[in-house]
Chains A and B, each alone.
Chain A
Amino acid sequence: MLFKLIYKEILFRKLNFLLTFLAISLAVAFFVSFFTTNEASKRETIRLTRDMGFNLRIIPKETDMNNFWLKGYSEFYMPEEYVNRFWEFKNFSFAHLTATLHKTIIWNGKEVILTGIAPEIEPSGKKKTSMAFMIDTGMVYVGYEVAKLLNLEHGDTIKILDKNFVITKTLSETGSSDDIRIYGTLSEFQDLLLMEGLVNEIMALNCLCLSPDDDNYLKTIREQLTRVLPEAKVIMNTTIANAREKQRHMLEQYFAVITIFVIILIALWIGVLVMINVRERITEIGILNAMGHGWTEIVGLFLGKALLIGVLSAATGFILGTGLALKFGPDIFKITAGTIKPIYELLFWSLLVAPLFSTFLALIPTMIAIFKDPAVTLRKV
């Protein structure tokens, strides 16, 4: 019965319904499309960061920075178990962590860099290998220049410092010192170089929830690090990924400001529409009351309508917002969001928030109307 009344009233005052429905749908679409493109942007930034290399480099404290930048790695060493200490320090957030050992040697008359990589450690402590290379014992990857110079191919066996390795991958050109590298497992290269248990760099892909806009970012990390690893220092490379991350944060801030405006605007819009609706129906409230309908039923009539509109427009807004994000997102956010996928979790949130929002806005005028004396509202005109 209640639903029938709501339904008939909506049909009777279509314009009011449509305008309210439109307002909430558009607001939901706005938020959904933003979150959908932003999520894609976040995903891509992380991937890019991964591709660009690790963004935190932890090196022995005594490292001379001139030499470091000239050679590309530290000449000093620190114990490999620093990784564990670093990892055990729970306050520090990171996505991936790995220890590496670098050493330049003359090989076949050329200078090459041997780089030993330990299996990565995830925050959970599990060893994981998906991010960088997964190199098996006895295997190596060779950089582009190394391979070209010596005509090396996948499957060839090479000898490095009296030990034989099988090439499982020749890497494509990177345009960096990586092209003159030979990658192997950390433990084997430590043996080879007689540097058991030593590394000269720990690389961490930092958690991206920290904003690089924050000037104190590096300072905070350094302070934290000094506490766990007094023998190390940290440098952060600002890559394109960081720039993009910055851009994304800027967009988020921009979005936060717009959000306030959108919410105020929509609240006013809907508030006015609800007020008009309630005013138009004030004698209806009075007559229902006179006929003995309890106030819960009358409140139900108005809030039920608001709830219904909220649910309908949440669903519509989600479809609309996702559609817009899928269709126009890749063009508008060329740099930050290429691959956009629907986020069904947002449907849940829309269905939760939009009805609450519209019901809340309907609550106040409804209550005011209901507490108006029916003897007054039913007076002649």
Chain B
Amino acid sequence: MIQLERISKIYGELPKQAIALKNVDLKIGKAEFIVVRGPSGSGKTTLLMSIGGMLQPSSGTVRINDKDIYLLSIVERSRFRALNIGFVFQMFHLIPYLSVLENIILSTRHIKYDDSNKKAYSLIEDLGLSDRINYKPSELSAGECQRVALGRALIHRPKIILADEPTGNLDPENSSIVMKTFSNYHQNGGTVIIVTHGEDADPFADRVIYLKKGEIK
């Protein structure tokens, strides 16, 4: 389903060049749960962004469902992301002036789900945010913020979830909510690729990938 062929990513120009990824080959099947691990600066974020169509590799191809996503136009790639991919970040990146509900339904714009509001409410319920619907991010705890971000990533039923250290700023309780949510999504046929330092994702993982200096070990 996801196929990376000899992906390399080099940041900057010589002599300050940083090689973030080095000839990475990777195949990820449908509905796989992948954990990516590695020391800081090993290229995990770069890998995730490349898979998500957010960062064009310096060389190599990224194919999703046999489609080379970097051959798509910028507009087509945006649309592709809107339909297929959900991102979750360590820093949540919620929109500060929108409420919980508005942050969650913001990503449904591109998709013609007539039930997006209904879906949003049931997600909010599942994520335990029912009494926070009209709160702004600044009025929420870190755990609640990340749950909102999960809602935002899941509402349009993407085929792939890309999560970059989603539990890095969370307490164990919230971390476990996040992991359970991913697991649920995975059991319903979703593909999860998650970058994490801890071992809390391991029980759900089909595979653990180790990155070191831009290479898979």
Contact = CB atoms under 8 A, between A and B. Distances in A.
Contacts of A294: 74-75, 78-79
B107 interface: yes
A287 B106 CA distance: 11
Interface string A151-174: 000000000000000000000000
Given A375-B49, A375-B55, A292 B80 contact: yes
B43 to A, nearest CB: 12
A375 B97 contact: no
Contacts of A293: 78, 82, 109-110
Contact of A292 (B90, B98, B107): B107
Given A375-B54, A378-B93, A291 B152 contact: yes
Interface in A1-51: 1, 5, 8-9, 11-13
B56 to A, nearest CB: 9
Contacts, number: 75
A289 B54 contact: yes
A329 interface: no
Interface string A348-381: 0000000000000000000000000111001111
B46 interface: yes
Interface residues of B, number: 32
A373 to B, nearest CB: 7
Of the candidates B80, B102, B106, the one having the most CB atoms from chain A within 10 angstroms of its own CB is B106
A290 B54 contact: yes
A284 B95 contact: yes
Given A291-B107, A292-B80, A375-B46, A380 B96 contact: no
Interface string B95-117: 11110001000110110000000
Interface in B54-106: 54-55, 74-75, 78-83, 85, 87, 89-91, 93-98, 102, 106
Main secondary structure of the interface of A (DSSP, over half): helix
Contact of A289 (B45, B78, B83): B78
Given A8-B98, A373-B55, A375-B46, A292 B83 contact: yes
Contacts of B166: none
Of the candidates A288, A380, A381, the one having the most CB atoms from chain B within 10 angstroms of its own CB is A380
How extensive is the interface on chain A, given as a class?
Answer: 20 to 34
Nearest to B97: A12
Contacts of A283: 91, 93
B76 to A, nearest CB: 10
A271 interface: no
A4 to B, nearest CB: 8
A295 interface: yes
A292 B93 contact: no
- 7 tightest CB-CB pairs across the interface, nearest first? A292-B82, A12-B97, A375-B55, A292-B81, A375-B49, A291-B107, A287-B93
Interface of A: 1, 5, 8-9, 11-13, 283-284, 286-295, 373-375, 378-381
Interface of B: 45-46, 49, 52, 54-55, 74-75, 78-83, 85, 87, 89-91, 93-98, 102, 106-107, 109-110, 136, 152
16 contacts: A5-B98, A283-B91, A283-B93, A284-B93, A288-B95, A290-B52, A290-B81, A291-B152, A295-B78, A373-B54, A374-B49, A375-B46, A375-B49, A375-B54, A378-B93, A381-B91
